[in-house]
Amino acid sequence: MEKYLDPSYSPQERAEDLVSRMTVEEKASQLRFRAPAIPRLGVPEYNWWNEALHGVARAGVATVFPQAIGLAAIFDDQYLKEVAEIIATEARAKYNENIRKNDRKIYKGLTFWSPNVNIFRDPRWGRGHETYGEDPYLTSRLGVAFIKGLQGDGKYLKAAACAKHFAVHSGPENLRHEFNAEVSKKDLYETYLPAFEACVKEGNVESVMGAYNRTLGEPCCGSKLLIEDILRGKWHFKGHFVSDCGAIQDFHTHHMVTKTAPESAALALQHGCDVNCGEMYHHLMQALDDGLITEEQITTAAVRLMTTRMKLGMFDSDCEYDKIPYEVNDCKEHNLKSLDAARKSMVLLKNNGVLPLNKDKIKTIAVIGPNADNQVMLEGNYSGKASRYVTILEGIQNAVNEDTRVYYTKGCHLYLDMVEDQTRDFFAEAVSMAERSDAVVLCLGLDSTIEGEEGDPHNPYAAGDKKDLNLPGLQQELLEIVTKVGKPTILVLGTGSAMAVTWADEHCDAILQAWYPGSQGGTAVADLLFGTVSPSGKLPVTFYKDTKDLPEFTDYAMKNRTYRYFTGEPLYPFGYGLTYSKVVVSDMKAPKQIKRGEEIPVTVTLKNVGDCPVEEVAQVYVKDLESSYAVTNHSLAAFQRVALAPAESKTVTLTVSPSSLEAVDEEGNRRLDSSKFTLWVGLSQPDQRSQALTGQKPLSAILTVDR
């Protein structure tokens, strides 16, 4: 038996043997994302491109979970791992069926280009809802959890995850093919790289995808600094590297760092890009003939790719995942998990006591707004297709008592795609419905046709980015007209990013941030509005009052961005979210002094003193009191979701890693530069705005480190 067919050898040994039997042309062909078959060696064709951001995407029916930003708002890495395990199970189920039908086209493989662990540094970025928010620590923990869930812990990889987009990538979308992200070494290592490092070192992620833009002058998919020096050098990454789609062509058409297609292909391969999503690696043989690359470089890349295919069990008959049946895809159990995730993800931003609504007292309710019956809003982008969707309107219709009247009108369009006078024709109807109702649910916001990726032909707003943080079109006018009727008014925001809803904060009775909540989102909204469950999500991003509070979108310096550096007062802070009960935090215990490198256990008691069962998120923040390199404010260092019945108390211990005490100097070096720190533990940040909104002050302690 040939070594590459013998599972007693390691995946790399088998890959090396297989590649050694290929001609140079065959090796080069395997570096294209549409890799052709090599029949004489028994190598089937393979398409490397597949997506699984919040469910198996773009490949027909699958369970559609809340968008990534909503999953981040759950603040529970173990829970996200469970979600990723379900996604991997459905991925294998679909793959197994596709193989039986010999269907090996795009979106049919096992290499998934997820998760997106870029930092959501600016709320205007259209793709920010694909991420886990603005904080490197939260993003690291969630990225690692998603990868472990997707890849599994068996003999083979259940699926192969990909951390993207490496690195320093978060808009503007309309400039991404030509933009050069200038960033200090401090910001690079303090904010933009930690999640990727965790995905490599802790998550053992199988692949990494480069970004479209340049970083510090080098195109990210052909960067010596990012790929050679950091990823493979400092972090010892052993997996494969993939270009974003069309990114290598940008080298000579937009970035102008090369002149020809063979030169672009050569630059990417030289610095370690193994598979090209695009067409540029069709020019590898010309680059070889021109002396721009060597056969050894082609061989190295081919071995990495074949190693991944070996790890996935593609050349074996005993892979433990080959028997996963198609029937588990989109099954009832998985859709119930999606519903549960949607409930946990939503963030209650304001409540003057109107929520939860009493369905026995509500005889008429008005559901108004362009997102009330909007299926697209449920999905977000990079989504699969559910077999059944429940919009917010449908969720409320299903939830109310049989004799309750539900009025509905769209009110206005999501954005201005018609003459303004025509769209205002719905306003009178909206007011009439509000006048006749016991309560009003206003469903406003965005969807992925407004905020999303550059290149989407349906995107009218700056190639996917938001121009500002306001409600688009006539939504603000609709909000004001309906609210001024004077009925109890609940605003449900369906968005993937922060909005400056300052008027709503002053005038609405309650505001619920629903994100893009997945196929079961309407049921989840209704469950929260009527108190079937309590809201429990926390914000993974800062909500600002205005873009005037922020630097220019193209400025990648972290100064005055995100909760760690922002010096103004936010509208709603990172880590904030209300529930229907009151949880009291007490009895904080933390060491007063530790030795360098020791973990820090922080123990605290949480008691639910209300009459509603809730889930709360205990959060630990750290502030360096001495170092000149410390972040401006404080940093999240640990979190834990805790379920509490009425009158129940639980004592939990959160562990702070010694790395959370390190500062990053101007050269990008992590160092323990202080001996004194403040530790806070509570249900939100230790900032004044959080305390004002929640009425609770976190507990604190001073920690001394023996250096």
Question: Do 356 and 257 sit in the same domain of this protein?
Answer: no
Total domain count, the chain: 3
Q: What is the Cα–Cα distance from 216 to 465, expressed in whole angstroms?
A: 23
Question: Do 391 and 318 sit in the same domain of this protein?
Answer: no
Q: What is the Cα–Cα distance from 454 to 280, expressed in whole angstroms?
A: 21
Q: Per residue, what are the HEC states of 444-508?
A: EECCCCCCCCCCCCCCCCHHHCCCCCCCCCCHHHHHHHHHCCCCCEEEEEECCCCCCCHHHHHHC
**Catalytic residue check, 244:** yes
56 contacts: CB under 8 Å, gap ≥ 6: 50, 62, 63, 87, 90, 91, 94, 329, 384
What 3-state class would DSSP assign to 116?
strand
Percent of the chain with pLDDT strictly greater than 90: 96
The two counts, helices (H) then strands (E), for the chain are: 21, 24
Question: Do 261 and 359 sit in the same domain of this protein?
Answer: no
Catalytic: which of 379, 451, 616, 687? 451
Q: What is the Cα–Cα distance from 600 to 581, expressed in whole angstroms?
A: 30
- The DSSP element (H or E) to which 327 belongs, if any, is none
Q: 453 with 467: CB under 8 angstroms?
A: no
pLDDT (0 to 100) of residue 422: 53
Catalytic: which of 51, 76, 244, 274? 244
Tell me the pLDDT tens digit for each residue of 642-669: 999 999 999 999 999 999 999 999 999 9
How many residues are listed for the chain in this entry?
707
Question: Do 358 and 288 sit in the same domain of this protein?
Answer: no
Evaluate whether residue 578 is within a structural domain. Answer: no
Q: Which residues of 465-487 are buried (b: 16+ CB within 10 A; e: fewer)?
A: bbeebbbbbbbbbbbebbbebeb
The β-bridge partners of 680 are: 621, 700
Helical ranges in 101-248 per DSSP H: 136-151, 185-187, 194-201
pLDDT (0 to 100) of residue 412: 94
How large is the average pLDDT for residues 239-243?
98
pLDDT band of 415, cuts 50, 70, 90:
confident
pLDDT (0 to 100) of residue 1: 80
Residue 420 has pLDDT above 90, yes or no: no
Question: Do 502 and 617 sit in the same domain of this protein?
Answer: no
**Which residues form the domain of 657?**
583-706
Place of tokens 């939504």: 475
Structure tokens at 683: 């249900």
How large is the average pLDDT for residues 426-455?
95
Confidence (pTM): 0.97
Question: Do 493 and 420 sit in the same domain of this protein?
Answer: yes
Per the omega criterion (within 30 degrees of 0), is the bond before 172 cis? yes
pLDDT band of 419, cuts 50, 70, 90:
very low
Of 328, 361, 382, the residue at which a domain comes to its end is 328
Q: How many beta carbons lie within 10 A of that of residue 251, not counting itself?
A: 26
Q: Tell me, what CATH number does 160's domain have? A: 3.20.20.300
**Catalytic residue check, 421:** no
Q: What is the Cα–Cα distance from 103 to 85, expressed in whole angstroms?
A: 24
Question: Do 294 and 392 sit in the same domain of this protein?
Answer: no
Of 510, 531, 552, the residue at which a domain comes to its end is 531
How large is the average pLDDT for residues 135-160?
98
Residue 707 has pLDDT above 80, yes or no: no
Evaluate whether residue 93 is within a structural domain. Answer: yes
- Side chain identity at 65, as an amino acid letter? F
pLDDT (0 to 100) of residue 387: 97
pLDDT band of 278, cuts 50, 70, 90:
very high
Evaluate whether residue 570 is within a structural domain. Answer: no
Structure tokens at 362: 């509500």
Percent of the chain with pLDDT strictly greater than 70: 98
Q: Tell me, what CATH number does 628's domain have? A: 2.60.40.10
Q: What is the mean pLDDT of the chain?
A: 96
Evaluate whether residue 163 is within a structural domain. Answer: yes
pLDDT (0 to 100) of residue 461: 57
Question: Do 520 and 612 sit in the same domain of this protein?
Answer: no
Place of tokens 């890495």: 77
Question: Do 321 and 357 sit in the same domain of this protein?
Answer: no
Evaluate whether residue 217 is within a structural domain. Answer: yes
How large is the average pLDDT for residues 223-231?
98
Q: Tell me, what CATH number does 458's domain have? A: 3.40.50.1700
Evaluate whether residue 561 is within a structural domain. Answer: no
pLDDT band of 31, cuts 50, 70, 90:
very high
Q: What is the Cα–Cα distance from 182 to 661, expressed in whole angstroms?
A: 27
Evaluate whether residue 34 is within a structural domain. Answer: yes
Place of tokens 């930003």: 69
pLDDT (0 to 100) of residue 628: 97
Question: Do 315 and 448 sit in the same domain of this protein?
Answer: no
Tell me the pLDDT tens digit for each residue of 327-368: 999 999 999 999 999 999 999 999 999 999 999 999 999 999
Q: What is the Cα–Cα distance from 130 to 216, expressed in whole angstroms?
A: 24
Tell me the pLDDT tens digit for each residue of 291-302: 999 999 999 999
Q: What is the Cα–Cα distance from 584 to 651, expressed in whole angstroms?
A: 12
How large is the average pLDDT for residues 258-267?
98
Question: Do 309 and 353 sit in the same domain of this protein?
Answer: no
Helix, strand, coil content of the chain in percent (nearest 5): 35, 20, 45
Residue 78 has pLDDT above 60, yes or no: yes
Question: Do 121 and 170 sit in the same domain of this protein?
Answer: yes
pLDDT (0 to 100) of residue 88: 98
The β-bridge partners of 351 are: 510
pLDDT (0 to 100) of residue 423: 65
Of 328, 362, 379, the residue at which a domain comes to its end is 328
Tell me the pLDDT tens digit for each residue of 370-404: 999 999 999 999 999 999 999 999 999 999 999 99
Tell how far CA 314 is from the center of its chain. Answer: 29
Q: What is the Cα–Cα distance from 666 to 629, expressed in whole angstroms?
A: 8
Evaluate whether residue 536 is within a structural domain. Answer: no
